[in-house]
Amino acid sequence: MDQLKARAACVGVGFVRSCAVAVVSMLVPAVWAAAVALGIAWGAANPWSWLAPLVLVCVGTLGLARPVCRAIRALVARWTGTAIPAGYRQAGPVTRMSTGYWWNGFGYERTSRDALLDQKTRVRWRDPANWRDLRFMAVLPCTAGLVACLPAAGVAAAVVALGMTGRVALPVGALGLAVAVAAAPYAWRPVEPVAVRFLRPSPAMALADRVAELTVQRADTTVAQAAEIRRIERDLHDGAQARLVGLGLSLATAEMLMASDPEQARALMRDARVGAAASLAELRELVQGISPPVLTERGLVDAVRALALDVPLDVTVGADDGLRLEPPVESAVYFGVAELLTNAVRHAGASRAGVSLTHDGVGIVVEVEDDGRGGADARPGGGLAGLRGRLAVFDGTVEIASPVGGPTRVRMTVPCESL
């Protein structure tokens, strides 16, 4: 009984999905059929009878191509979980120049509205994805669309046969119903491979998207580097530099008091020695923030273990012994782990954390887990968003799983070779 219910549910779901694919797939052919019917209705005697059908075919096909492709992507993603990148060109920002005109990436306009309208039109009709969508409109009805019509055609044949009289009516109706039931669970499935094959971005489109992504990453990296340089300058100016200036003044005063007041001179020299020690400690902390010596000398694994000892958490570190990477990758991963452990202390209220570093043959895989309150997400401008941006420079990824109440698991992957 349960198997019968499951089979009926599978047939019902498959029938609905097949009908959805058939309707979406046949929208453009329906426009073509309407154009042909319009031409026939006007008659061959009218010398302009071909113009209206031609306009209808062109406008209907161009207007429906992108919505149909988006609908197919949405159906495939919802039913199978396969996400097909759209690959459409995105409009850039519209900027007002000092002359008062607006620049939209293609030309200058007097108002922002005109600039946006001109930009939208140019981006829409110069997009190479238009040709891909038009090709898909020709392929889809003849492949997945035709197969998806089988269940509906079988039901239609059964209904028509039941309304007829004769010896063959009952066999035809039964055959149509059998075809509908047998094909329903499978008739919608060809839409996935067809969509993946013909709707994915072309190599040229993927390359253009990658160039745009790298351009954004370069800009973010430049901004981050400038901010880091300003931080170092501020720390040096407000900390070690101020102390060294005070140290110089103390030594100069001690030199003048050496003959007249030796005790006061010795006191100033003792203060100068304390100031020198404090300046040295601040410089060491600054160097530690730029590039920890243990990371340079002993590698990523020992640097993370040393970091775990300084964090006020019970941190366990598991790693492949002898794991060494290129210095830029090691630095990015190290500061990523430091960011995650800092978040576990400051924001999550965690008491324990675990760090795992492994190389899976393709790249470094780092997993950080804590028992904090959870709820972490990569908000724009936040630490996790910055971490994702820093690893994206190396084609790295950051996956965050942090339900409210915890635990928080963050997985960082960076493709690289192990030295």
Interval 122-144: pLDDT, tens: 877 888 888 888 889 889 999 98
Contact 38, 52 (CB under 8 A): yes
Query: Which whole-number Å values give the CA distances from 388 to 205, 221, 238, 279, in the listed order?
Result: 24, 12, 31, 34
State pLDDT tens for residues 368-397.
888 888 777 767 666 677 777 777 777 788
Which contacts of 114-119 are long-range, i.e. CB under 8 A and separated by 24 or more positions? Answer: 116/91, 119/91, 119/92, 119/94
pLDDT band at residue 291 under the 50/70/90 scheme: low
The residue with tokens 């964090």 is 311
> How many Å from the N-terminal Cα to the C-terminal Cα in the chain?
60
> 284 vs 271, which has greater pLDDT?
271
Contact 122, 116 (CB under 8 A): no
104-118, 130-144, 157-171, 208-222: segment of lowest average pLDDT: 208-222
d(CA 254, CA 2): 96
12-16, 149-153, 339-343: segment of lowest average pLDDT: 339-343
- Other Cβ atoms within 10 Å of 2 Cβ, number: 6
52-56, 210-214, 255-259: segment of lowest average pLDDT: 210-214
Residue ranges of the alpha helices (H) in 126-168?
129-139, 144-162
Which H helix or E strand runs over 184?
Answer: helix 169-187
pLDDT for the residue numbered 217: 59
Query: Which whole-number Å values give the CA distances from 199 to 79, 124, 210, in the listed order?
Result: 17, 17, 18
Instruction: Pull the structure tokens for residue 365.
Output: 């895989």
pLDDT for the residue numbered 235: 60
The chain-wide mean pLDDT, for the chain, equals 78
State pLDDT tens for residues 300-336.
888 888 878 877 788 888 887 777 778 878 888 888 8
Contact 122, 106 (CB under 8 A): yes
Instruction: Pull the structure tokens for residue 134.
Output: 């038009």
State pLDDT tens for residues 29-50.
888 888 888 777 776 556 666 7
